[in-house]
Amino acid sequence: MTDPLVRIADALERLSPPPAPPADLHAHPAYIWRGDALTPARAFAPLPLDVLRGVDNQRDALLANLQRLAAGHAAQDVLLWGARGTGKSALVKSAVARVQDEGGAIALIEAATHHLETLPALFAAIAVSGRAFAIFLDDLGFDAAGDARALRSLLEGGAEARPANARLIVTSNRRHLIPRDIAEQSSAINPRDSVDDNLALADRFGLSLGFHVMDQDTYVDIVRGYADAHGLTLDPAEAVGWATRRGSRSGRVAWQYVVDLAGRSGKSL
């Protein structure tokens, strides 16, 4: 008969299995940080950088910064902000992939925005690696300035700031990450202090890249780039009609149209 203590130990192990072994920091192009463990991304297949249209200035600035980071040179933390669907997240992934294709020793780590308090543990895990890491925080935003103070200390001035081989790459629909509540500011003892506190987080990013609502020509050019890359025949008027029905012109809407076009053409993407 099996010892009861052994059976209890086996049952506890099934309920709480041992943690997975640490991921090899040099073996994968992208990782996911889940708050307590770093795991390889199952599929990292971003769009080719040349397919992204209408973001040339943002592309060049981000790419140059990531190239410096991969080379071990001084690099900035980056905030990509602006209208939804304009290619912020796609650009981050594609730019990292381009640097990797160039031979740069860099990887992307996507961290959930609700795990910000665990970032010091992530920094400790990757600090010993000779590889560079772009820590990707997608669609970040805070409801109050107090919620953002932990991230502010990580960006600059904290006792456990990110190591030299890691920089934060953050996307947000808000330029300052925190909504500017005029009523709250006007009720403050010193309204200027309230405004300054709300803007202090965005100021800590050395590189801030804005993405704006695009005009029709840029939208059609984006659709054309996607269509050409996948061997699809473009009807510009139909593409414009698709955006009109959606009530928005953006890179996201352009891609959704191309997916529909590919499906109707009997092709997969």
> Tell me, what CATH number does 157's domain have?
3.40.50.300
| pLDDT per residue as tens, the chain (269 positions) | 566 666 666 666 666 555 556 788 999 999 999 888 899 998 898 989 988 888 899 999 999 999 999 999 999 999 999 878 888 999 999 999 999 999 999 999 999 877 788 888 999 999 988 899 999 999 886 665 555 666 766 676 566 667 899 999 999 877 666 655 543 444 444 454 444 555 566 778 889 999 888 889 988 999 998 899 889 998 999 999 999 998 888 888 999 999 999 999 888 88
Number of domains in the chain: 2
- 171 and 68 in a single domain? The answer is yes
Q: Which residues contact 144 (CB under 8 A, 6 or more apart)?
A: 178
- 171, 195, 211: which is the final residue of a domain? 211
Q: Based on the domain organization, do 174 and 234 belong to the same domain?
A: no
168 in the same domain as 149: yes
pLDDT of residue 43: 86
Q: Does residue 121 form part of some domain?
A: yes
Tokens of residue 31, six digits: 């990782």
pLDDT score, position 146: 56
On whether residue 192 sits in a domain, the answer given is yes
92: in domain: yes
List the domain range (segments joined by +) for residue 79.
30-211
Which residue type sits at 240? V
Is 118 found in the same domain as 51? yes
Question: 85 and 193: one domain?
Answer: yes
Q: Which residues are CB-neighbours of 187 under 8 A, at least 6 positions away?
A: none
Instruction: Kindly state whether residues 177 and 235 are assigned to the same domain.
Output: no
Q: How far apart are CA 254 and CA 257, in angstroms?
A: 5
- Do 108 and 224 have their domain in common? no
Q: Checking DSSP bridges between strand 38-40 and strand 30-33, what pairing results, if any?
A: antiparallel
Task: Tell me: do 82 and 127 sit in the same domain.
Answer: yes
The confidence score (pLDDT) of residue 176 equals: 61
- Residues 122 and 135: beta-carbon distance below 8 Å: yes
Distances in whole angstroms, Cα of residue 110 to Cα of each of 17, 50, 83: 24, 23, 21
What distance in Å separates the CA atoms of residue 31 and residue 24, rounded to the nearest whole number? 10
Helix axes 251-264, 216-229, angle to 10 degrees: 40
Dist CA 125 CA 108 (whole Å): 14
- Is residue 187 a part of any domain in this protein? yes
Alpha-carbon distance 148 to 9, whole Å?
Answer: 42
Distance between CA atoms of 171 and 218, rounded to whole angstroms?
Answer: 21
